[in-house]
Amino acid sequence: MLKEHDYLAILQEELIPALGCTEPISLAFGAATARHYLQDMPSRVKIACSRNIIKNVKGVVVPNTQGMRGIEAALAIGFIGGDASKDLEVLASITTDQIEQAKLYLKNTTMDVEALSGSEKLHYILHAETDSRRVIVEVKHHHTNIVRIEQDNVVIFEGKHKTDLDAEDFDKRNLLTIDEIVQFIEHVDVKLLKPIIEPQIHLNSAICAEGLAHAWGAGVGRHLLGSSPTNIVTRAKATSAAGSDARMGGCELPVVINSGSGNQGITVSIPVIEYAKEHAITEERLLRALALSNLVAIRQKVKIGRLSAFCGAVSAAIGSGAAITYLSGGTQSQIENTIINTLATISGMVCDGAKPSCAAKISVAVDAAFLGHTMAMDDLGFVAGDGLVADSVEQTIDDIGTLASEGMECTDRVIVSLMVDKKGK
């Protein structure tokens, strides 16, 4: 059984701010690290990336670059203006001059990009050279988890080759259960939650407001508000989608992430925040609900992993649905049924990379979570034997995790192959 400090530590580790989509940001972080050791701009660059890195960087705007996209752009701006000491906010201080330098650098520098053959979902090896120095930076499993730095053929840093989560953290997360998560959020001193959860409320609400106020991405959030009645379900879908619109469009505002993803951080929090506004929920109860939402999403990702062919918006929306059931006065059983109902409805959505249509997928996932919630509150639900629904919520989550991590391995390869083979790549 986990202790209170274990839950708080998990939340602290996961709920961190990030500027822009985390995969291109990770590449910019690696590039900034390499530049630090090179002490000059590289004239030769080669990077080998896992297919999920390729998938998630290909179609998304790198923040603070005035619309630049892709692996090469992320590396160029990281080399020129990135500050690796800021981790996932590595590009927070980019200037207009540096953007112009990056564009010129891309015109004059050839970067070789290739796919890694291993099974790791989040992994890249960056080679950067000047005429006098050579640096290799390898990042694996976590967006800022450097496992090796090599300078002029000498290994100067070697970190842990963590599994998707390092051994201690994985053991903690592997012990998460829905029942015990609910017990934790009901009894924890809310003063301990506030400094962890409050930034997620403020930062994620701010980027969603920006997405509704201005034209970003595909404009999914603004479209939803303009074309449908503004009931709570529509507002929750639209506001969440608008945050993704802005984020995928290169908005410079940071997001507090969940499971390594800003889109998941938005989806796990904004529907709950909007529901709390609609029903005048107290701050204390909202903080507890958001802790529940985040932990339910993290529980699902233990087997799925941070990156996969399984759309992370689904796991995050299920967290939101469970939290909304909690805010509605739902029982433990109804919270579990919300999770099962939503998984039974939408667990087949695939991830085809980070790009503007993520906003629409978030909208669909949030809609399914509300359906799962309202069914559960009416004591309706799917039972064992209905497709992948198992005998318990824990087994259902684990079975869907197996589907995502093992069953969709081939799906992931096909998705990346189709994306990379498209013209205009």
The angle at the Cα of 303, spanning 298 to 304, to the nearest 5 degrees, equals 80
170-180 in b/e burial notation, b at 16+ Cβ within 10 A?
eebbeebebee
SS3 for 264?
A: helix
Query: 244: closest CA among 235, 255, 234, 233?
Result: 255
Rounded Cα gap, residues 305 and 405, in angstroms: 7
Concatenated DSSP letters for 254-283? Answer: EEE-BTTBHHHHHHHHHHHHHHHHHTT--H
Asked if residue 132 has pLDDT above 70, the reply is yes
Query: 289: closest CA among 424, 181, 398?
Result: 181
Instruction: Write the pLDDT tens digit of every residue in 34-90.
Output: 999 999 999 999 999 998 898 888 878 898 898 898 999 999 999 999 999 999 899
Q: How many residues does the chain have?
A: 425
SS3 for 254?
A: strand
Share of the chain above pLDDT 90, in %: 73
Rounded Cα gap, residues 180 and 190, in angstroms: 17
* More confident site: 173 or 245: 245
Q: What average pLDDT does range 255-279 have in this prediction? A: 96
Instruction: Write the pLDDT tens digit of every residue in 380-392.
Output: 999 999 999 999 9
Rounded Cα gap, residues 370 and 232, in angstroms: 10
* More confident site: 170 or 327: 327
SS3 for 135?
A: strand
- 14 Cα distance to chain centroid: 10
SS3 for 127?
A: strand
Query: 241: closest CA among 256, 224, 255?
Result: 224
- Relative to beta strand 134-140, strand 146-151 is antiparallel
Compute the mean pLDDT over every residue in the chain, rounded to the nearest whole number.
92
Residue 307 CB burial class (10 angstroms; 0-12, 13-18, ≥19)? buried
Instruction: Write the pLDDT tens digit of every residue in 325-382.
Output: 999 999 999 999 999 999 999 998 998 888 889 999 999 999 999 999 999 999 999 9
Q: What average pLDDT does range 115-142 have in this prediction? A: 91
- What tokens appear for 109 in the block? 């520098």
Residue with tokens 């034209």: 215
154 strand-pairing partners: 151
Band (160; pLDDT cuts 50, 70, 90): low
What integer pLDDT is reported at residue 423 of this predicted model? 44
Phi-psi group of 87: left, alpha or beta (phi > 0 → left; psi -120 to 50 → alpha; rest → beta): left
- What tokens appear for 179 in the block? 């029942």
Q: Are the C-beta atoms of 258 and 268 separated by less than 8 Å?
A: yes
Q: Are the C-beta atoms of 65 and 126 separated by less than 8 Å?
A: no
What integer pLDDT is reported at residue 412 of this predicted model? 83
Rounded Cα gap, residues 406 and 283, in angstroms: 40
Rounded Cα gap, residues 335 and 351, in angstroms: 26
Residue 96: CB atoms within 10 Å: 9
Q: In which element (H, E) is residue 45 found? A: strand 44-49
Rounded Cα gap, residues 277 and 294, in angstroms: 19
What residues have CB less than 8 Å from 42, skipping those under 6 apart? Answer: 34, 35, 79, 109, 128, 129, 130, 135
What backbone torsions phi and psi does residue 44 show, to the nearest 5 degrees?
Answer: -135, 130
Q: Are the C-beta atoms of 254 and 203 separated by less than 8 Å?
A: yes
DSSP state of 84: G
Q: Are the C-beta atoms of 331 and 373 separated by less than 8 Å?
A: no
Band (152; pLDDT cuts 50, 70, 90): very high
What integer pLDDT is reported at residue 167 of this predicted model? 38
Band (161; pLDDT cuts 50, 70, 90): low
All structural domains of the chain, each given as residue ranges with its CATH number in brackets, are: 17-158 (3.30.1330), 167-421 (no CATH)
Instruction: Write the pLDDT tens digit of every residue in 183-208.
Output: 999 999 999 999 999 999 999 999 99
Asked if residue 246 has pLDDT above 60, the reply is yes
Concatenated DSSP letters for 333-347? Answer: HHHHHHHHHHHHHHT
